[in-house]
Amino acid sequence: MPEYTFVCEKCNHKFTDILSFSQYDAKAYKCEKCKSKKLNRCYQDDCINIAGSIKKSDSELSTVGDLADRNRDRMSEDHKEHLFRKHNEYRFNKPDDPLPTGMSRLKKPSKRKWKWIDQQKTSKKRKKSS
């Protein structure tokens, strides 16, 4: 069930309430302090919590991304850090193992900016040189 945030017009009390859609539509909610029904909905707080409040069941997961998001949300911060280190270890730890004689490590090529060559200009140059 969704969580709604309200502000009472009478006493200015801010509170959250978990209501079903039918309860929300029937306006079956009151201020916790003064029991007034004159409430304003606080959408700003609801939008902040919306990502954490909507959970999809297994049958509602339609993409691999949904499944990955759900599993990420279930993990602790320690587990996320462990997986990050495990999958990125090769980036941080350069291999210090000596290579067999006659072998060398490949160097990463520098980033080149490719220039587009106008085919008409090159074909004219070739015709002039031949």
User: Which contiguous run of DSSP H or E holds residue 105?
Assistant: none
Residue ranges covered by each domain of the chain? 1-54, 57-92
Closest CA to 43 of 7, 9, 97: 7
Contacts of 70 (CB under 8 A, 6+ apart): 55, 56, 61
pLDDT at 79 over 80: yes
Mean pLDDT of the chain: 76
CATH class (in words) of the domain with range 1-54: mainly beta
How far, in Å, CA of 16 to CA of 51, rounded? 16
Is residue 41 a contact partner of residue 25, using CB atoms and an 8 Å limit? Answer: no
What is the DSSP code (8-state) at residue 14? E
pLDDT, residue 18, reads: 78
pLDDT digits (tens, 9 = 90+) for 92-120: 776 667 888 888 877 777 776 666 666 66
Burial class (CB in 10 A: 0-12, 13-18, 19+), 31: buried
pLDDT digits (tens, 9 = 90+) for 16-31: 877 777 777 767 778 8
29 φ, ψ (degrees, to nearest 5): -140, 150
Per the DSSP assignment, residues forming a β-bridge with 6 are 15, 41
Structure tokens at 36: 């007034």
pTM of the model: 0.36
How far, in Å, CA of 111 to CA of 77, rounded? 35
